[in-house]
Amino acid sequence: MQGLIMRIVWNMVKQALVGYAVVFSIAGTLLLVIAGWVVLTPVLRVKHLKTHNPAQTLYMKGQRNWLRSKGLPDTLSHRFVPLDSISPHLVKAVLAAEDDGFYAHPGFDIRAIARAVEHNQNNAGRRRRGASTITQQMAKNLFTGGKRSFERKYRELAYAVLMEHFLGKKRILELYLNYAQWGKNIFGCEAAARHYYQRSASSITMGQAAHLAAVLARPNHLTPHYTESGLLQKRMRVISNNLYRRRSIDTTTWRELGGQDSLLELRATLEALQFEGAQSRESADTVPTGETDSAGTTHRVEF
């Protein structure tokens, strides 16, 4: 009798163990599927962008929804053009304005983040400084939205890294230039060039490019033509100084674009003189770098 009871109890235990094993197996499989979906979905979404130009970004969709909520037409001005149909002047100006280290970072800029954190801590209550790269801006516009949260910022960074890996710099830049906001309901450089200058993005001059790039800071409040704006002037100084530092413009153009008359100007001018002097020496094969010529002119400037 006792043996029979033990067998019955043992069978019940085995059935329970088998049941638990099945439950845990199903749960484990579901967890793996969910984990795979969480990881794989962003990868697939990013890889899709390699050959696909979205009709609109998440931000553009939100703008259309807002217009409809106000009873306004939800039409946005937007036209996609390939990167080789965009003026190199505009490409250089946008990089100088929004992400001067674009070709050096992996999707995010640690030094810029550190500077922004320090600035925001020391200037509590004032306008916050951002540190988003062009890649992060595209990740936000395409995938994560603009709501401030640590979770959103984490996802933005993750998408930025994926975009750098699967798309590369050229494609990211092409997407940014075509989907960035350039004014009220104006998206992409082609629509902006036609709206502000009645010409295509391929024929934008350096001066026009710098003014367009300056608008990106606050596209709902700035236009390239409102040159009295203090913010626009400030952005123009940043852009012109960055362009000049990278030898993308000469001294005359730098001054025309608003190069700052300060220590920055002195440094940029001296660097330009050093560069121009080096060019002259190479062509004439005369004074070596760092030496002094017969007139007593030193040909190296250290900062």
Residue 16 structure tokens? 């329970």
CB atoms within 10 A of CB 184: 13
Average confidence score pLDDT of the chain = 77
Residue the block writes with tokens 């153009």: 253
Q: Give the CB-side neighbour count of residue 133, counting CA atoms within 13 A.
A: 27
List, for residues 74-94, the tens digit of each pLDDT value.
Answer: 999 999 999 999 999 999 999
DSSP letter at 142 equals I
Does 182 score more than 50 pLDDT?
A: yes
CB 38 within 8 A of CB 154: no
List the domain boundaries for the chain.
Answer: 49-284
What is the DSSP track for 233-264? HHHHHHHHHHHHHTTSS-HHHHHHTT--SSHH
- pLDDT at position 302 is 27
Which residue has better confidence, 119 or 166? 166
Does 293 score more than 50 pLDDT?
A: no
What confidence category does residue 222 fall into, taking pLDDT thresholds of 50, 70 and 90? Answer: confident
- pLDDT at position 282 is 41
Residues 6+ apart with CB under 8 A from 171: 49, 50
Looking at residues 116-124, what average pLDDT do you find? 66
Mean pLDDT lowest for which of 6-15, 96-105, 130-139, 222-231?
Answer: 6-15
Looking at residues 100-122, what average pLDDT do you find? 79
- pLDDT at position 35 is 44
- pLDDT at position 257 is 82
The CATH code of domain 49-284 reads: 1.10.3810.10
Does 4 score more than 80 pLDDT?
A: no
Residues 6+ apart with CB under 8 A from 209: 87, 89, 90, 92, 93, 94
Residue 227 structure tokens? 């040159």
Looking at residues 133-161, what average pLDDT do you find? 88
Does 25 score more than 80 pLDDT?
A: no
Going 186 to 188 to 189 to 191, the CA torsion angle's sign is negative
Looking at residues 174-187, what average pLDDT do you find? 96
Looking at residues 182-196, what average pLDDT do you find? 96
Looking at residues 34-57, what average pLDDT do you find? 81
CB 102 within 8 A of CB 217: no
What confidence category does residue 122 fall into, taking pLDDT thresholds of 50, 70 and 90? Answer: low
* Residues recorded for the chain: 303
CB 301 within 8 A of CB 270: yes
Does 135 score more than 60 pLDDT?
A: yes
